[in-house]
Amino acid sequence: MTPSVPALPRLLVSVRDAAEAEIAAASGADLVDAKDPVRGALGALEPGIVRAIVAAVRGRAATSAVAGEPDDAETLARCVAAMAATGVDYVKVAVSPTLRAEPKTLAAAARAAPERLIAVLFAEDALRPEDPARLAAAGFIGAMIDTAGKDGRRLPDLLDAGRRDAFTAACRACGLVSGLAGSLGIEDIPVLAGRGSGEGPGYLGFRGGLCRGGRRTERLDPARVAAAVADLRALARRTAA
C-alpha cells in the first residue's frame, strides 16, 4: 500500500481529536495525521482517540497516527503495533540515529505495521545520506524530516535547501515517499514544494501554522487549512500550465 508520489506535495494536517479531523478532511487535506501537540514534537494520542479520528475522516482523506519517540528496540516495535491496531492507513514514528543504525530493530518495527510505517527523522539530529536506503531495506514505506524542538525555529532555519533536496532525492531513489515538516507556515509552501514532476517531497506537514494564532497547541483554524489547500492547488495549476 505504498503511497504514490505526486508531481507536487500533498498536504498533511496534524489533528488532536475527531473535531479537528472533521475540519481537516472537510477542508481538503490529503492526509489527516493524529498527534498530541501537548506531548512534544511527536506525542502519541490514546488509541481510542485515534479510532475516533479515523471514523470522523470517513475515507475522505488518508489517515496516519504518530507512535511517539521510542528510545529502544522493544518499545519501538510495541508502540508501532499499538498504533497500527487503530485502523489508520499509516503509522509515523520517530527513529533516532542510534536505532537507524540497527537493521534488525528497523525490520522488527516495520513488521509491526507492514507496508504502513513511516520514519520521522529530526532535523536537529545527524542525518546520514544512507538513512533512506536503510529504512527502505527494512520495510518502511516512507521517511519524513521534522523538527524536535518547537521553539519557533522552522525546518528551513535548521536544514538548508541542498540537504532537503538530497533527502527527498535519496527517498525517491529507493522508493520511499518523503515528507517535510517542522513549524511550517503557509508561506513555506512555494519554497518547499519543489519544481513539479515529483522532484520535491511527497508531503508537506503542518500543525502550528494552521492553528489559531499560529500556535500548535491551539485549535485548528478552518480558514488556514483551506488557504493551505488552495495554495497547493494553485501551485499545481501553475506547474501544469
CA atoms within 13 A on the CB side of 11: 30
Q: Which residues contact 170 (CB under 8 A, 6 or more apart)?
A: 129, 131, 132, 133
Task: Identify the helix (H) or strand (E) that includes residue 120.
Answer: strand 117-122
CA Rg, the chain, in Å?
A: 16
Q: Residues 10, 16, 51, 92: which is the catalytic one? A: 92
Q: CA dihedral in degrees (62, 68, 70, 74; nearest 10)?
A: -60
Q: Is 150 a catalytic residue?
A: no
Q: Residues 5, 12, 27, 35: which is the catalytic one? A: 35
For the four alpha carbons of 11, 105, 16 and 116, in that order, the dihedral sign comes to positive
Beta partners for 11? 204
> Which of 141, 142, 138, 178 shows the shortest CA–CA distance to 159?
178
- CA distance linking residue 23 with residue 11, whole number of Å: 14
CA 204 to chain centre: 7
> Which residues are known to be catalytic?
35, 92
